[in-house]
Amino acid sequence: MRRLTWFNATSLTLGFAFLYIPMLILIIFSFNASKLVMVWAGFSTRWYGELLQNEAFLSAAWTTLKVAVASSTIATVLGTMAAYVLIRGGRFWGRTLFSGMIYAPLVMPEVITGLSLLLLFIGIGLDRGVLTIVLAHTTFSMCFVSVVVSSRLVSFDRSLEEAALDLGSTPFEAFRLVTLPIIAPAVISGWLLAFTLSLDDLVIASFTSGPSATTLPIKIFSSIRLGVSPEINALSTILILIVTIGVLTASLVSKRSSLKMQADERAAVRN
Protein backbone atom coordinates (compact mmCIF):
# COMPACT_ATOMS: atom_id res chain seq x y z
CA MET A 1 0.00 0.00 0.00
CA ARG A 2 1.55 3.27 -1.08
CA ARG A 3 0.88 6.30 1.03
CA LEU A 4 2.26 9.79 1.03
CA THR A 5 3.98 10.39 4.35
CA TRP A 6 4.78 13.92 5.48
CA PHE A 7 8.44 13.25 4.74
CA ASN A 8 7.77 12.30 1.14
CA ALA A 9 5.37 15.19 0.67
CA THR A 10 7.99 17.62 1.98
CA SER A 11 10.81 16.26 -0.16
CA LEU A 12 8.61 16.38 -3.27
CA THR A 13 7.46 19.92 -2.54
CA LEU A 14 10.98 21.18 -1.84
CA GLY A 15 12.42 19.30 -4.81
CA PHE A 16 9.94 20.64 -7.31
CA ALA A 17 10.15 24.11 -5.78
CA PHE A 18 13.92 23.99 -6.40
CA LEU A 19 13.37 22.86 -10.00
CA TYR A 20 10.66 25.38 -10.87
CA ILE A 21 11.15 28.55 -8.80
CA PRO A 22 14.18 29.81 -10.79
CA MET A 23 12.24 29.46 -14.03
CA LEU A 24 9.15 31.12 -12.54
CA ILE A 25 11.26 34.06 -11.37
CA LEU A 26 12.70 34.36 -14.87
CA ILE A 27 9.20 34.44 -16.35
CA ILE A 28 7.86 36.96 -13.80
CA PHE A 29 10.76 39.34 -14.31
CA SER A 30 10.39 39.23 -18.08
CA PHE A 31 7.27 41.37 -17.51
CA ASN A 32 9.19 43.89 -15.42
CA ALA A 33 9.04 47.47 -16.67
CA SER A 34 12.44 48.37 -15.26
CA LYS A 35 15.71 47.86 -17.10
CA LEU A 36 17.27 46.87 -13.79
CA VAL A 37 16.28 43.25 -14.00
CA MET A 38 15.94 42.43 -10.32
CA VAL A 39 14.04 45.51 -9.18
CA TRP A 40 10.30 45.29 -9.78
CA ALA A 41 8.85 48.45 -11.35
CA GLY A 42 5.44 47.38 -12.55
CA PHE A 43 4.02 45.16 -15.27
CA SER A 44 5.05 45.74 -18.86
CA THR A 45 5.36 43.81 -22.11
CA ARG A 46 7.95 46.29 -23.35
CA TRP A 47 10.81 43.74 -23.60
CA TYR A 48 8.75 41.43 -25.80
CA GLY A 49 8.21 44.34 -28.15
CA GLU A 50 11.90 45.17 -28.22
CA LEU A 51 12.78 41.52 -28.77
CA LEU A 52 10.57 41.36 -31.86
CA GLN A 53 12.35 44.45 -33.22
CA ASN A 54 15.77 42.90 -32.69
CA GLU A 55 16.95 41.76 -36.11
CA ALA A 56 20.02 39.95 -34.76
CA PHE A 57 17.95 37.70 -32.51
CA LEU A 58 15.35 37.01 -35.17
CA SER A 59 17.92 35.98 -37.75
CA ALA A 60 19.75 33.82 -35.20
CA ALA A 61 16.44 32.15 -34.33
CA TRP A 62 15.78 31.47 -38.01
CA THR A 63 19.27 29.93 -38.48
CA THR A 64 18.78 27.78 -35.37
CA LEU A 65 15.45 26.50 -36.64
CA LYS A 66 16.88 25.63 -40.07
CA VAL A 67 19.84 23.82 -38.51
CA ALA A 68 17.61 21.95 -36.07
CA VAL A 69 15.12 20.75 -38.71
CA ALA A 70 17.85 19.67 -41.13
CA SER A 71 20.12 17.99 -38.61
CA SER A 72 17.37 16.19 -36.69
CA THR A 73 15.85 14.85 -39.90
CA ILE A 74 19.13 13.51 -41.27
CA ALA A 75 20.03 12.23 -37.79
CA THR A 76 16.74 10.35 -37.56
CA VAL A 77 17.32 8.58 -40.88
CA LEU A 78 20.95 7.73 -40.07
CA GLY A 79 20.24 6.86 -36.46
CA THR A 80 17.38 4.52 -37.39
CA MET A 81 19.60 2.84 -39.98
CA ALA A 82 22.36 2.45 -37.41
CA ALA A 83 19.96 1.01 -34.81
CA TYR A 84 18.56 -1.46 -37.37
CA VAL A 85 22.07 -2.54 -38.37
CA LEU A 86 23.11 -3.01 -34.75
CA ILE A 87 20.07 -4.99 -33.66
CA ARG A 88 19.14 -6.88 -36.86
CA GLY A 89 22.29 -6.66 -38.96
CA GLY A 90 23.94 -9.76 -37.55
CA ARG A 91 27.71 -9.94 -37.74
CA PHE A 92 29.79 -7.81 -40.04
CA TRP A 93 33.35 -6.63 -40.23
CA GLY A 94 34.08 -3.91 -37.69
CA ARG A 95 30.81 -4.25 -35.77
CA THR A 96 32.49 -3.53 -32.42
CA LEU A 97 34.03 -0.35 -33.79
CA PHE A 98 30.63 0.63 -35.16
CA SER A 99 28.80 0.17 -31.86
CA GLY A 100 31.65 1.96 -30.09
CA MET A 101 31.24 4.93 -32.42
CA ILE A 102 27.50 4.97 -31.67
CA TYR A 103 27.96 5.05 -27.90
CA ALA A 104 31.11 7.17 -27.57
CA PRO A 105 29.57 10.50 -28.67
CA LEU A 106 26.93 10.12 -25.93
CA VAL A 107 29.56 10.46 -23.21
CA MET A 108 32.08 12.60 -25.07
CA PRO A 109 32.53 16.06 -23.53
CA GLU A 110 31.05 18.66 -25.86
CA VAL A 111 34.27 20.69 -25.92
CA ILE A 112 36.14 17.71 -27.38
CA THR A 113 33.47 16.92 -30.00
CA GLY A 114 33.43 20.57 -31.00
CA LEU A 115 37.21 20.92 -31.15
CA SER A 116 37.71 17.74 -33.16
CA LEU A 117 35.03 18.62 -35.73
CA LEU A 118 36.43 22.12 -36.13
CA LEU A 119 39.92 20.73 -36.76
CA LEU A 120 38.46 18.38 -39.39
CA PHE A 121 36.58 21.18 -41.17
CA ILE A 122 39.69 23.34 -41.21
CA GLY A 123 41.78 20.37 -42.36
CA ILE A 124 39.59 19.69 -45.40
CA GLY A 125 39.08 23.40 -46.07
CA LEU A 126 35.31 23.46 -45.54
CA ASP A 127 34.05 26.98 -44.83
CA ARG A 128 32.31 27.18 -41.50
CA GLY A 129 28.63 28.10 -41.62
CA VAL A 130 25.20 26.53 -41.57
CA LEU A 131 26.42 23.38 -43.34
CA THR A 132 29.16 22.62 -40.82
CA ILE A 133 26.79 23.11 -37.86
CA VAL A 134 24.30 20.74 -39.50
CA LEU A 135 27.03 18.12 -40.03
CA ALA A 136 28.19 18.46 -36.42
CA HIS A 137 24.70 18.30 -34.92
CA THR A 138 23.71 15.35 -37.10
CA THR A 139 26.73 13.40 -35.95
CA PHE A 140 26.08 13.56 -32.23
CA SER A 141 22.29 13.47 -32.36
CA MET A 142 22.17 10.43 -34.66
CA CYS A 143 23.73 8.48 -31.80
CA PHE A 144 20.95 9.55 -29.43
CA VAL A 145 18.33 8.60 -32.05
CA SER A 146 20.01 5.25 -32.53
CA VAL A 147 19.90 4.47 -28.78
CA VAL A 148 16.20 5.39 -28.55
CA VAL A 149 15.26 3.37 -31.64
CA SER A 150 17.35 0.33 -30.76
CA SER A 151 15.70 0.02 -27.34
CA ARG A 152 12.37 -0.26 -29.19
CA LEU A 153 13.77 -2.71 -31.75
CA VAL A 154 15.10 -4.98 -29.01
CA SER A 155 11.73 -5.22 -27.29
CA PHE A 156 9.54 -6.06 -30.26
CA ASP A 157 8.55 -9.47 -31.51
CA ARG A 158 10.81 -10.45 -34.38
CA SER A 159 8.43 -13.14 -35.64
CA LEU A 160 6.22 -10.39 -37.07
CA GLU A 161 9.00 -9.46 -39.51
CA GLU A 162 9.65 -13.11 -40.27
CA ALA A 163 5.98 -13.69 -41.00
CA ALA A 164 6.03 -10.84 -43.53
CA LEU A 165 9.12 -12.35 -45.18
CA ASP A 166 7.52 -15.81 -45.26
CA LEU A 167 4.44 -14.33 -46.90
CA GLY A 168 6.62 -13.13 -49.76
CA SER A 169 7.50 -9.53 -49.02
CA THR A 170 10.99 -8.28 -49.70
CA PRO A 171 13.12 -7.25 -46.69
CA PHE A 172 12.54 -3.63 -47.62
CA GLU A 173 8.75 -4.10 -47.76
CA ALA A 174 8.84 -5.96 -44.46
CA PHE A 175 10.68 -3.01 -42.95
CA ARG A 176 8.34 -0.40 -44.43
CA LEU A 177 5.07 -2.23 -43.72
CA VAL A 178 5.81 -4.06 -40.47
CA THR A 179 8.88 -2.75 -38.65
CA LEU A 180 8.54 0.96 -39.30
CA PRO A 181 4.93 1.31 -38.06
CA ILE A 182 5.87 -0.55 -34.86
CA ILE A 183 9.00 1.48 -34.12
CA ALA A 184 7.39 4.76 -35.30
CA PRO A 185 6.84 6.17 -31.78
CA ALA A 186 10.54 5.64 -30.99
CA VAL A 187 11.55 7.20 -34.32
CA ILE A 188 9.38 10.23 -33.57
CA SER A 189 10.73 10.66 -30.06
CA GLY A 190 14.23 10.24 -31.49
CA TRP A 191 13.52 13.07 -33.92
CA LEU A 192 12.20 15.27 -31.11
CA LEU A 193 15.24 14.53 -28.99
CA ALA A 194 17.60 15.35 -31.88
CA PHE A 195 15.64 18.53 -32.59
CA THR A 196 15.87 19.71 -28.97
CA LEU A 197 19.55 18.81 -28.69
CA SER A 198 20.26 20.89 -31.77
CA LEU A 199 18.17 23.88 -30.57
CA ASP A 200 19.96 23.76 -27.25
CA ASP A 201 23.55 23.29 -28.25
CA LEU A 202 25.99 26.08 -27.55
CA VAL A 203 29.42 24.49 -27.31
CA ILE A 204 29.56 22.42 -30.50
CA ALA A 205 27.85 25.17 -32.51
CA SER A 206 30.38 27.73 -31.24
CA PHE A 207 33.25 25.60 -32.49
CA THR A 208 31.72 24.73 -35.84
CA SER A 209 30.00 27.98 -36.82
CA GLY A 210 31.60 30.80 -38.70
CA PRO A 211 30.91 34.52 -38.86
CA SER A 212 28.21 33.89 -41.45
CA ALA A 213 26.05 31.75 -39.18
CA THR A 214 25.10 32.57 -35.60
CA THR A 215 22.64 30.37 -33.76
CA LEU A 216 20.35 31.51 -30.98
CA PRO A 217 22.33 29.88 -28.13
CA ILE A 218 25.53 31.57 -29.37
CA LYS A 219 23.72 34.90 -29.47
CA ILE A 220 22.18 34.37 -26.01
CA PHE A 221 25.52 33.30 -24.56
CA SER A 222 27.41 36.30 -25.86
CA SER A 223 24.82 38.73 -24.50
CA ILE A 224 24.36 37.11 -21.05
CA ARG A 225 28.09 36.97 -20.55
CA LEU A 226 27.83 40.70 -19.94
CA GLY A 227 25.06 40.21 -17.37
CA VAL A 228 21.33 39.70 -17.00
CA SER A 229 19.15 41.49 -19.54
CA PRO A 230 15.37 41.87 -19.65
CA GLU A 231 15.25 41.04 -23.36
CA ILE A 232 16.85 37.66 -22.70
CA ASN A 233 14.27 37.07 -19.96
CA ALA A 234 11.52 37.67 -22.51
CA LEU A 235 13.20 35.37 -25.02
CA SER A 236 13.66 32.66 -22.35
CA THR A 237 9.99 32.91 -21.40
CA ILE A 238 8.94 32.36 -25.01
CA LEU A 239 11.26 29.35 -25.32
CA ILE A 240 10.07 27.85 -22.01
CA LEU A 241 6.46 28.29 -23.16
CA ILE A 242 7.12 26.52 -26.48
CA VAL A 243 8.84 23.59 -24.75
CA THR A 244 6.07 23.28 -22.15
CA ILE A 245 3.35 23.21 -24.80
CA GLY A 246 5.36 20.69 -26.83
CA VAL A 247 6.00 18.32 -23.91
CA LEU A 248 2.40 18.52 -22.67
CA THR A 249 1.02 17.83 -26.14
CA ALA A 250 3.37 14.91 -26.66
CA SER A 251 2.44 13.37 -23.32
CA LEU A 252 -1.29 13.82 -23.93
CA VAL A 253 -1.01 12.26 -27.39
CA SER A 254 0.95 9.27 -26.09
CA LYS A 255 -1.51 8.85 -23.19
CA ARG A 256 -4.45 8.88 -25.58
CA SER A 257 -2.85 6.43 -27.96
CA SER A 258 -2.01 4.04 -25.11
CA LEU A 259 -5.60 4.30 -23.82
CA LYS A 260 -6.86 3.59 -27.32
CA MET A 261 -4.54 0.59 -27.61
CA GLN A 262 -5.84 -0.78 -24.29
CA ALA A 263 -9.43 -0.27 -25.45
CA ASP A 264 -8.67 -2.06 -28.74
CA GLU A 265 -7.09 -4.96 -26.90
CA ARG A 266 -10.10 -5.27 -24.60
CA ALA A 267 -12.44 -5.17 -27.58
CA ALA A 268 -10.35 -7.85 -29.30
CA VAL A 269 -10.53 -10.07 -26.22
CA ARG A 270 -14.30 -9.66 -26.00
CA ASN A 271 -14.77 -10.66 -29.62
Residues 106-125 that bind another protein (CB under 8 A): 107-112, 115-117, 119-120, 122-123
Q: How many amino acids of this chain bind another protein (CB under 8 A)?
A: 84
If the CB atoms of residues 115 and 182 are measured against another protein, the closer one turns out to be 115
- Binding of residue 33 to another protein (CB under 8 A): no
Of positions 47, 84, 144, 191, contacts another protein by CB under 8 A: 84
**Of the listed pieces 104-112, 158-166, 180-188, 261-269, which binds another protein according to CB under 8 A?**
104-112
Q: Which of residues 44-73 bind another protein (CB under 8 A)?
A: none
Residue 148, Cβ neighbours under 10 Å: how many? 24
- Binding of residue 165 to another protein (CB under 8 A): no
**Of the listed pieces 50-58, 180-188, 228-236, 261-269, which binds another protein according to CB under 8 A?**
228-236
Q: How far is the CB of 22 from another protein (least distance, A)?
A: 4
- Binding of residue 29 to another protein (CB under 8 A): yes
Q: How far is the CB of 162 from another protein (least distance, A)?
A: 16
Residue window 128-147: x/- pattern of binding to another protein, with contact defined by CB under 8 A: -------xx-xx--x---x-
* 3-state SS track over the chain: CCCCCHHHHHHHHHHHHHHHHHHHHHHHHCCECCCCCCCCCCECCHHHHHHHHCHHHHHHHHHHHHHHHHHHHHHHHHHHHHHHHHHHCCCCCCHHHHHHHHHHHHHCCHHHHHHHHHHHHHHCCCCCCHHHHHHHHHHHHHHHHHHHHHHHHHHCCCHHHHHHHHCCCCHHHHHHHHHHHHHHHHHHHHHHHHHHHHHHCCHHHHHHCCCCCCCHHHHHHHHHCCCCCHHHHHHHHHHHHHHHHHHHHHHHHHHHHHHHHHHHHHHHHHC
- Binding of residue 263 to another protein (CB under 8 A): no
- Binding of residue 226 to another protein (CB under 8 A): no
**Of the listed pieces 76-84, 158-166, 182-190, 261-269, which binds another protein according to CB under 8 A?**
76-84
Q: How far is the CB of 123 from another protein (least distance, A)?
A: 6
